Amino acid sequence: MRKSVRIFLIIVLFLMLILIRAVVQPYFYDPLLDYFKHDYLNASIPELDFGAYFLNIFYRYALNSIISLGIIYLVFKDVKSLYFSIKFYVLMFAVLSLMLFVLLKFNVTQNYLLTFYVRRFLIQPLFVFILLPAFYYQKLKIGKSEDRRRKTEV
């Protein structure tokens, strides 16, 4: 695939992530959105339909993850990085959704910031901004070690 086509596709995928973020309100059930926009310090967490809420969180996480995985693959063209990212996304969804469930079910209101940030990692594509620099740094380190090895062989 030509470099210009890859760059265009990466831009389109980032625009899709922005679009998901922009049109979230009418399409996804999220009563905590208004809660965290307003007086969350003094108000209690609103009543949630846990089934609908976590299903919608799963939908958003899946959409963001699929698009993010596409970006990671197009940037690095490395299947190993893609497989690692898939495992990472699945593991993080399991851990974070369990944490969010416990925080909401047992009404841990004194930890509203923890609830806010766990929810944020689930509904926003933050992991792509963590994985891209990590894979880039790893690629640089591997390249430098291979260069050193070639110099010592010569």
Q: What is the pTM of this model?
A: 0.82
Instruction: Convert the pLDDT of each residue in 25-53 to its tens digit.
Output: 667 766 666 666 666 556 666 677 788 88
In the chain, where are the structural domains located?
A: 3-153
Alpha carbons 82 and 33: distance in angstroms, whole number: 31
Contacts of 49 (CB under 8 A, 6+ apart): 29
Lowest mean pLDDT among 4-8, 42-46, 114-118, 131-135: 42-46
Instruction: Convert the pLDDT of each residue in 62-116 to its tens digit.
Output: 999 999 999 999 999 999 999 999 999 999 999 999 998 888 888 766 667 787 8
